[in-house]
Every structure is written in structure tokens, then in C-alpha cells.
Structure 1
Amino acid sequence: MGILTAGGDSPGLNAAIRGVGKSVQGHYRMQLIGFRDGFRGLMENRSMRLDGERLSGILTLGGTILGTSRDKPQRMLVDGKPADMTETIVRHYREHRLDVLICLGGGGTQKNALHLKQQGLNIITLPKTIDNDVACTDTSFGFDTALGIATEAIDRLHSTAHSHHRIIVVEIMGHRAGWLALGAGIAGGADVILLPEIPYDIQRVAEAIRQRVRHGKSFSIVAVAEGARSLEQAAQIRDLEEQKLHARNKKQKRRAKQRLAELEADHLGNHTVQLSEQLERLTGLESRVTILGHVQRGGAPSAADRLLATRLGSACADLVAREQYGVMVAAAGEQAVPVPLEEVAGRRKLVPPDHPWIISAKRVGTSLGD
């Protein structure tokens, strides 16, 4: 068996590697080879034997002992130029005489894994992401740890917001999906939560804060996902996506695509600061920004993530023993179930507007800006 970790690092990756490795070696007497730095390591044929000594002591470690990268098999930089390295990856898979390749990663990894399946390789994936947006699984390992870190940060920000009578705008990871901001916002008692799935009206957000002031609350916590957008920004993006979809020629399509990329880059770089400035201007309260950034996905995995990663990893070994390939090992309640990669790849699990977390947030008076 081969195994690699791809995409962004996440708490629980080492626990999953250990879960797979100890299960296949101790229970099924199989050998496990790890490839360094994601699909690039497989392309460059950089591997390491994952024996009992290598797997010992990694359950509690954050990150991944294998290293990771965001390289795609079909578009990988080689000598500074993008190239399709699929054939090389398939050749190295054959040279190692692998029965199966286990890929640990998020949405991008699921698509890359499906691509390799379509080239005739035996593939199984495990869902990893702090964003919790991998389709067809209840949850992904990494999410619970990041949720705890973001919640603790909001807890700590309450005291300084209260002491200085300020608005504290805390940016939480979540480019397309708002699970992390929503969960941490509810658990941390944020007064406003802004999500990518629900475009917000800045006037409604400001009014929610002014309403708190009128009721004697001189501070507010605003939890904002990095991908949250105002109504105006969301409309602008929809227009550009329509232009790209209905472009009459390649030039028009390329221009719309480029403009979308520019908007995206500007949004991720400036949105939270601009939001803070707007709220300060509209409410008259001093506003400060805290961007949690990569601290959310660092450090030791939580007990829940260690348990989930171990559970999915051992279930992965069972699937290998049954030669059930081309699937992702998904969490479904207390069960681990195989889901065809075709049902996972290219899909994203977003927060639905009627989700119980949304309803609970509104019940306790949290503003979602809508």
C-alpha cells in the first residue's frame, strides 16, 4: 500500500496515517509506503517505509510526517513550467507494485484522486479539512481541532472588547464554506456571524450592533469567515460568473475569468479590514481586527479528531482487505462507509440556510447580516 497527504496541513493527518498503518500491518500483515509532499513526492519517487517505529508516537502530533503540497498530477510545475505528470505518477505506482494508493486530503485531493482512478489506479481517500466542506461525509478530521482553537480565540477576545468598549472583528478560515465561523461564532457567543453562504447587508450588521448599544452593551464580537461577502460583492461576482458562462468567445471568457480572480484576491486581502472600517464609521464605536490565520490548523489534534482519524484509518484498511477501491471513507454517524469518488469529487458541502446551527444562532439573537 502507498499513502500520501495532499493539500493544506490539518490536525489529525498523523493520527490517520497511524490508523491506516497500524491496522494494515498488525491486522492484515500488509506493508505501507509513504510518499513525501503529496502527489509531487509520488511523481519524484520520494518515499519512506512506514514501519512500526515510524508510526510510533505520532498520534498527538499536528501536521503530517509525510509533508504535503497542493500539486495536481495533471498540472504540476516542473522546471518552472506547468506539465501533466500523470504518466510519471502511474509509472511509479506500477514500479512500487502498489495494490492501492491512499490519499488523505480535502476537496482538491478528492478530484485528483478521481483523476488517478480514471487512469486505472486503485485509490481510496480519507476526508481531511478544517473547513468541513468535503461532500458526502458528516465531518472531516481537522475540523473539531480548528473549531476549538477559533472558539478559544473568541473567548479571549471578549475580555478586551468589553474592557475597551470596542467592536472586535475576528476573521476565521472558510473561503467557500462557513462551518468553522458558524460553529466557533455560536460556541464563542459572537454577536454577529458572517458566512460565505449568506451575503450580508452592512446596514443590518451595523444596526444589530447599535441595538446592542441601546440595550447597554458597549462592545460586540463579529465572527467573519474569510470568504464572507456583502450583497453588493456577491452580486458583482454573480454578474462576472454569468459573463464567463455566456461569453461569445475565448477572449471574453478569459477577461471575465481574470476579473473574477482579481476580485477574489482583493477580497481575501482586504475584506475584513474594510468591514471593520465600515462598522466603525456606521456605529461610532472603535473597531479592531484579529485575523486568526494558520494558527487554526496548527498544533495537536483534539481527542475527537484523533478518534475520527483512527476510526476512518482502520476502516480504510478493511476496505483494502476487501479490495473495495475507488471510494472515500466517509463518516456517517458512528459508522465509516465507502462513498464512490464520483459522488464526492467536484462537490462542496456548504452551510444550508435551514441548518440547525443557523436556526440556533438566530434563536439566541445572533445577527447573520441578512
Structure 2
Amino acid sequence: MSKFIGVLTSGGDCPGLNAAIRGLVRAGQNQYDMQFVGFLDGFRGMAQDRTLELNRKTLSGILVDGGTILGTSRDTPARTREMTDEIVATYNRHHLDALVCLGGDGTHKNAMRLKEAGLNVVTMPKTIDNDIACTDVTFGFNTALGIATEAIDRLHSTATSHHRVMVVEIMGNSAGWLTLGAGIAGGADVILLPEIPYDVNMISAAIKRRARAGKRFSIVAVAEGAITKEDAKVVAELKKQLAATEGEQERDQLEEKIRRLEGARVGHSVKLTQEIEEITGQESRLTILGHLQRGGTPSSFDRLLATRLGTACARMIHEEKFGNMVAVKGQEIVPVAIEEVANTTNRVPVDHAWVETARLVGTSFGDQ
């Protein structure tokens, strides 16, 4: 008998979402006699039962398109029982056999909530940050890496012509994979990551050393979630207080303080750029790439990866391996329990091979 499958995309958009939807639906229809309904604008759209039929017509030409034909939102059933109940009702109303959720960290938390509510859920890992646990890589990362690297390449021209320090802010709230990869590939002289707290004086010292060696420009690649050593110490102390605090109001206040110091902070890179200019005496300019990194045509790598994950997802549903994320392990695609993925972040290890490679070519991380 035919299986009826719901599909939604949630969280931030990224290249490869359409390719993954196409791979899932085409494999499911061609090989496993499945029928698909898409829910518009993520979990919000499913709660409101807003749908798009997924068939050959709606899939036509989407392989090379960025974004998602289903739309997306950041609404989260993990925080409201009411939305969870509405999603469950929609699931039952359409007589679904499974729900496929394509998304990142927040999506997996929501998927775990729906799994606990009794739904057959399967997920696919998407994010340009490459920070989803239990998978070697996420689709969207390769495309964004190419965009960020090209941006650094282009900034070299202005940096050399005007003898400037060019600071480029790259996405990465709690994990620095994108900044690290683009920084190495683009030849950045300084790379700043959330995982390696920095000292602006050490950054400036590295830039001054380059100037004394006759290098009249520098490139600084900074993740939006990079943190100073001073702030990192404060965060560590706040987390100790949080672990020892039982009162709900006090915990909320501590968590808010931690959030203000960790992750993306408005004006952080502006302040950093001003400090570098003041300490080094070199003209410094900031470029914030922002959402440019998430848009546009997906790379061939991401199209291939997303298609593989989509087809593997269809097979996993056929085999009734519910409650899992479709993960990449080496050359294999395997199921991993959603519980192992949710509430965990794949951060850059401070001794990772990429970090060692950068240090060996003389890149500063602002920590020594």
C-alpha cells in the first residue's frame, strides 16, 4: 500500500534544500509508491495545515535553485504544547505515515518533541554552519564555503591596493567551521573562532609583525560568534553559577547574560575593527557577508550530497527506520537517532587538523 509522507523545511534557508526535497520525492514516488505533501513555512505552516502538493510539476527545475520551494520559519513546537498538538492533528488529518523535517539544530529539537508525541519522524541535516552533531558534513556548507572564500579573495585586491587591514565577518554563531575553512582557503592572516577565545592585542601584534616584514595589508576572518578571552572567562563563571542555581527566575537571568556574551552580537565586529585600527595604526575596514552566504545556486557538491540524503531518506522511510536523522559517515549514509543529534553542537576541536594546518602556515588565532 502507498505511504503518505509529509515534508517541511525549517530554520534558516540554505543551498541544497530543493535538491534534497527533489531527491526524496522522486525516489519515494519512483521506487516505493509513496505520495507526498509539503507543508509551507516550516512547523508554523504544518500547525496551520498550509500545504503544497509535491509532484513532477512542482519539482521541475528546482535542483539548481537556492532557498526552498516550501518556505521556512523559525517557529518552534519544542516550546509550546499548543503548536505540538496542532501539528499532531494535521499529521493525523492527512493520514501520514511519516514526517520528514529538513533543518538544523533547532529543527532537530522540534523533531525530537514530535517523536515524543508519537509521530514517525525522519530528519535531514542542513546548515551552512556544518555544526550538526553525528554527521560528517551537512548540505549547504560547501556552497557557503565557496562564497565566503571568494569574498576573501576579492577583499585581497582592496587590502593590497590601499594597504589596509580588511576584517570580514562570516556566519557561525557557535561553531567556526565556515570561518576556519574559508580563512584557510582564502589565505586569511588571522582567523577568529567561537571555540578559540582571542585577545585583540595578540591579533594586533600579529598584524604588526606582518608590517615589519614588509606586508602592508592583512586579512582578518572573524566568525560572528567569536569571543574575547575576557568574555570567555565571564561566561565560564556564569555557567558555574547557572549549574548551582535552582530558582527559575535566577536561571533565566543567568541564561540571558550568557546569551548576550556568546553567539552573534550586534556591533562585535565593528568594535573589533576599531580596536585593531587604534592599536596597529593601520587603516581597517569591515565587511559583513551576512545572508549572502546562504543564497544562490548550490554547488555541485551540495546538489550531489542533498540528492543522496534525499534518496536515502526515502529508503529509510520504506524500511520504517523512523526517529532517525539521515547522517553521513565516511562514504556511507546511515541512520542516527534524533536524540543523539538534538541539543548537541558539532564545534571545531581546538586541536583539529584544519586548525593545525592554519597554525603551520603562520595564521594567528589571536590566542598566543
Question: Which TM-score applies when normalising by structure 2?
Answer: 0.96
CA contact (8 A) 2:173 2:225 kept: yes
1:153 to 151, 154, 159: 151
- Residue 134 of structure 1 aligns with an amino acid whose one-letter code is I
- CA deviations 1:178-228 (Å, max 9, x no partner) are 000000000000000000000012111111100100110000000000000
CA contact (8 A) 2:28 2:35 kept: yes
2:18 to 4, 14, 18: 14
1:31 to 14, 28, 35: 35
- CA deviations 1:333-359 (Å, max 9, x no partner) are 221111011111111100001111001
Residue ranges of structure 2 left out of the alignment (5+ in a row): none
- CA deviations 1:268-295 (Å, max 9, x no partner) are 1011011111111111100000000000
Give 1:303's aligned residue.
300
Give 2:58's aligned residue.
54
1:5 aligns with 2:17: no
In structure 1, distance between residues paired with 2:203 and 2:34: 56
- Residue 106 of structure 1 aligns with an amino acid whose one-letter code is G
Distance 1:160 1:73, change over 3 A: same
In structure 1, distance between residues paired with 2:319 and 2:259: 44
1:360 aligns with 2:357: yes
In structure 2, distance between residues paired with 1:342 and 1:256: 26
In structure 1, distance between residues paired with 2:110 and 2:226: 27
CA RMSD of aligned residues (A): 1.3
1:206 aligns with 2:210: no
Give 1:369's aligned residue.
366
How many residue pairs match? The answer is: 363
In structure 2, distance between residues paired with 1:159 and 1:119: 55
In structure 2, distance between residues paired with 1:352 and 1:257: 24
Distance 1:262 1:192, change over 3 A: closer
1:102 to 100, 104, 107: 100
1:329 to 292, 314, 326: 326
1:278 to 265, 275, 300: 275
Residue ranges of structure 1 left out of the alignment (5+ in a row): 77-82
Aligned residue for 1:2, secondary structure, equals: strand
- CA deviations 1:53-103 (Å, max 9, x no partner) are 111100000000000001111436xxxxxx631111111101101110000
Matches within 5 A, 1:157-176: 157-176=155-174
CA contact (8 A) 1:173 1:180 kept: yes
1:313 to 310, 313, 318: 310
Question: Which TM-score applies when normalising by structure 1?
Answer: 0.96
Q: Work out the percentage of aligned pairs sharing the same amino acid.
A: 59
- Residue 325 of structure 1 aligns with an amino acid whose one-letter code is F
In structure 2, distance between residues paired with 1:332 and 1:264: 30
- CA deviations 1:301-353 (Å, max 9, x no partner) are 00000000000000001111111110000011221111011111111100001
In structure 1, distance between residues paired with 2:359 and 2:260: 34
